[in-house]
Amino acid sequence: MSEPAAANSNPPNGDIDLSAAGGIYRLTLNRPQRLNAFTRNMLSAMSDALADIAADREARVLVITGAGRAFSAGQDLTDKGAVEDGRACRNTVERYYNPVIRQINSLDLPVIAAVNGIAAGAGVSLALACDIVVAVESAAFDLAFARIGLIPDAGGTHHLQRLLGPARAKAMSMLGEKIAAAEAVQLGLIYRAVPDADFAAEIGALAQRLASGPTKALALMKQAFHAGDHNSLEQQLALEAELQSQAADTEDFAEGLAAFLGKRAPRFKGL
Ligand code: T3D
């Protein structure tokens, strides 16, 4: 893992923590006194961190989580200049949120949202932009936007509609519902809800397992699933053929095949 900027465990503004070990990056939202509500400063730090991770060829998985009792309460409603009027909101969304969501979306490795507590507003949007969402059983996904007269942003309308279906996504957003973690699993909004006591171990094991996986194939999978959002079957068949040919040219596929034929466990290197 390349050390300097990439594994900087104390970015300058301290609104996030970033650490890396054994190919596993951990980005922690770190404003617990404000339930990790997003400021523009914090979103800039996240964007810088994501750029560093994208540039690290040894990175295999990213875990995004929150410090303290919350994942994130969404936009910091006290961040002066971020939310005062339409012009400020447009600027905040376009310059600060959207780049982060795009970066997570295009990161060539699996991104886990480890939802350690309440996620509200854009905190929900951030979690849903990740590839795998695992929450503590005590967490909830609070579609708080309508309560303050805003709409789900940071990709919220996209992901909520895709995961819940338009009927539930619209109603739940308009009603500003708070969805408990177990219900979020039942609705297909997230992957798993884990007892609070087991959370750290479960996230560690999941991250470790993904970090030992065929990273390039996982990234190609991510690309294929994202394209499947809008492709026709014909387009998707063609894309799968292309991406499968790329997967089959990786060292990890050669290793996976050799391991299968040799009746042993594969040792993937992410190459
Ligand atoms: O420019 C743009 O377009 C911005 C984009 C906007 C997208 C959005 O995210 S809009 C949605 C913004 N978020 C919210 O509306 C949620 C607001 N927070 C809450 O509803 C509640 O705090 C929670 C349901 C999340 C948790 O409730 P609870 O009772 O567990 O905690 P609390 O006591 O309300 O919060 C603890 C502290 O965090 C408290 O501060 P205090 O009183 O101890 O000094 C509270 O004010 C602060 N806090 C919580 N959320 C935010 C916040 N401070 C600033 N911004 C927040 N979003």
Q: From ligand 1's centre to the CA of 38, what distance in Å?
A: 10
C-alpha 178, offset from chain centre: 20
User: Are residues 109 and 59 in contact, defined by beta-carbon separation less than 8 angstroms?
Assistant: yes
45-54 pLDDT per residue, tens: 999 999 999 9
52-101 pLDDT per residue, tens: 999 999 999 999 999 999 999 999 999 999 999 999 999 999 999 999 99
User: Which residue is closest in CA terms to ligand 1's atom 56?
Assistant: 76
Domain extent listing, the chain: 7-211, 215-261
Architecture of domain 215-261: Orthogonal Bundle (1.10)
CA of 153, closest atom in ligand 1: 7
CA of 178, closest atom in ligand 1: 24
Residue 109 to residues 19, 149, 157, 207, 260: CA-CA distances in angstroms? 16, 35, 24, 11, 24
List the CATH code of the domain at 7-211: 3.90.226.10
Q: From ligand 1's centre to the CA of 207, what distance in Å?
A: 29
211-256 pLDDT per residue, tens: 999 999 999 999 999 999 899 999 999 999 999 999 999 999 999 9
In angstroms, how far apart are the furthest CA atoms of the chain? 63
